[in-house]
């Protein structure tokens, strides 16, 4: 894939900066001022998606291969969904959901939440650290952002290489700013789990999960994204309308798997707690993966460079903007139906047609259906196939 080099412009994207500011302002203001929960939900989710999708533009950056300048053997591989995984996702999700339902039924709510709370505590520390680290780095001298702390050790062992790499490199290197971000993250997680699991701290963790998940994960292709969304469309409908499993798990699972929106600032007289509405993180993250893919497709069509990615760079974003507007309209429809019928709604019932329909319609109008369907971020597989394809003509010549 050949594309133009990245623009050297250092100007900031005002909408991206505004989305970060909106997340902070609405989180802070909602603790002192009662914001109508519908407005609170729509504004916060839109800001999260805009910020997270633009952060995902770094997935387009070309990773140096072995032997090339800048190659890092310790760099973590990029997470890209495979087609077979997309088919299996609703099945595995159903098994996990039903397992949780049975666990709550037979093991009890307290024990299940204790075990899951430990998991979310560890994952939350990681997500918070990765979210806070860039902010801490921007405030500290560059020298403090270099990985100068930690240790490394090489260990030889008698096990075969196919079982465990020999010698085995162990170690952990981190910077002062990374350490500061980690300490702050541990403090927030501690406050959340040991100071009553306040809804505001729940949202801090939930927002970080959304930002980090969408930023770091690729659906691979438009087709794979469509397969995943259609599968989860039926998954959501079945488990919400067909059974009480989804609603039961959502109500009993006491962890940062959802964003909470206060409907009042004074505790309910009967329960002694603030009345809250919720939106599952899956209804943000899953469509967010798809929106982020569309934004990167916009960058591909605009021939934005794949070296030294600048997430603030300006380029046309017809697919992303149309899908984001459609997502918001789908979310508004979900809320309208929920309020009108006073019943829980499977949000993906409305969000999946909105995202798929808007993106495909945009491609039809622009005459880019083939380009959209052919777009792929599965670079490794494509690179592995090229030598095989190139070898065939040479083999044919030998046979001649």
Condensed to tens digits (0 to 9), the pLDDT of residues 243-279 reads 889 888 888 888 888 999 999 888 887 777 888 888 9
Query: What percent of the chain shows pLDDT beyond 70?
Result: 87
Tokens describing residue 355? 């995202």
Q: Are 304 and 311 in contact (CB under 8 A)?
A: no
> In Å, what is the CA distance from 150 to each residue of 146, 169, 171?
11, 14, 7
Mean predicted lDDT score pLDDT of the chain? 85
**What DSSP character marks residue 5?**
P
Determine which helix (DSSP H) or strand (DSSP E) holds 64, and give its type and residue range.
none
Relative to beta strand 258-262, strand 149-155 is unpaired
Closest CA relative to residue 203, chosen from 153, 128, 117, 263: 128
Residue 172's beta-bridge partner residues? 151
Considering the candidates 72, 74, 161, 283, report the single residue annotated as catalytic.
283
Dump pLDDT digits (tens) for 296-345.
999 999 999 888 889 999 999 999 999 999 999 999 999 999 999 888 88
Residue range 223-230: mean pLDDT, rounded: 95
DSSP 168-236: EEEEEEE-HHHHHHHHHHHHHHHHHHHTT--HHHHHHHHHHHHHHHHHHEE--BHHHHHHHHHHHHHHH
Tokens describing residue 381? 């597989």
pLDDT value of residue 75: 56
Q: Is 236 a catalytic residue?
A: yes
Considering the candidates 236, 254, 298, 399, report the single residue annotated as catalytic.
236
pLDDT value of residue 162: 65
Dump pLDDT digits (tens) for 63-108.
766 666 655 555 556 788 899 999 999 999 999 999 999 999 888 8
304 SS3 class:
coil
Q: Is 283 a catalytic residue?
A: yes
């Amino acid at each position: 894939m050949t594309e133009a080099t990245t623009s050297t412009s250092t100007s900031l994207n005002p909408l991206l900066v505004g989305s970060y500011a909106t997340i902070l302002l609405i989180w802070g203001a909602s603790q002192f001022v009662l914001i109508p929960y519908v407005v609170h939900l729509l504004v916060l989710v839109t800001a999260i998606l805009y910020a997270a999708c633009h952060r995902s533009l770094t997935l387009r950056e070309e990773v140096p291969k072995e032997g090339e300048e800048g190659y890092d053997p310790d760099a973590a591989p990029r997470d890209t969904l495979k087609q077979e995984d997309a088919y299996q996702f609703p099945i595995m999700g159903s098994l996990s959901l039903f397992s949780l339902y049975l666990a709550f039924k037979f093991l009890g709510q307290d024990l299940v939440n204790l075990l899951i709370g430990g998991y979310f505590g560890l994952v939350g520390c990681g997500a918070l650290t990765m979210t806070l680290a860039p902010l801490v780095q921007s405030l500290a001298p560059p020298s403090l952002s270099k990985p100068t702390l930690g240790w490394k050790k090489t260990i030889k062992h008698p096990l075969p290489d196919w079982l465990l790499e020999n010698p085995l490199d162990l170690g952990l290197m981190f910077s002062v700013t990374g350490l500061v971000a980690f300490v702050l993250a541990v403090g927030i997680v501690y406050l959340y789990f040991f100071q009553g699991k306040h809804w505001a701290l729940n949202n801090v963790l939930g927002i970080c999960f959304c930002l980090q998940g969408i930023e770091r994960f690729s659906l691979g292709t438009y087709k794979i994204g469509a397969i995943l969304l259609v599968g989860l469309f039926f998954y959501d409908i079945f488990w919400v309308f067909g059974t009480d499993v989804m609603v039961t798990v959502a109500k009993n699972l006491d962890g940062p798997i959802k964003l909470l929106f206060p409907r009042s600032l004074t505790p309910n007289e009967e329960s002694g707690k603030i009345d809250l509405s919720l939106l599952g993180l899956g209804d943000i993250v899953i469509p967010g993966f798809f929106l982020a893919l569309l934004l990167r497709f916009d960058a591909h069509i605009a021939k934005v460079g794949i070296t030294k990615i600048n997430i603030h760079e300006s380029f046309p974003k017809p697919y992303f903007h149309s899908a984001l507007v459609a997502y918001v309209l789908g979310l508004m429809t979900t809320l309208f139906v929920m309020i009108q019928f006073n019943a829980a709604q499977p949000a993906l019932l409305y969000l999946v047609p909105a995202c798929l329909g808007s993106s495909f319609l945009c491609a039809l109008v622009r005459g880019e259906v083939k380009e959209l369907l052919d777009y792929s971020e599965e670079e490794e597989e494509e690179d592995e196939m090229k030598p095989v394809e190139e070898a065939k003509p040479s083999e044919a010549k030998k046979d001649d």
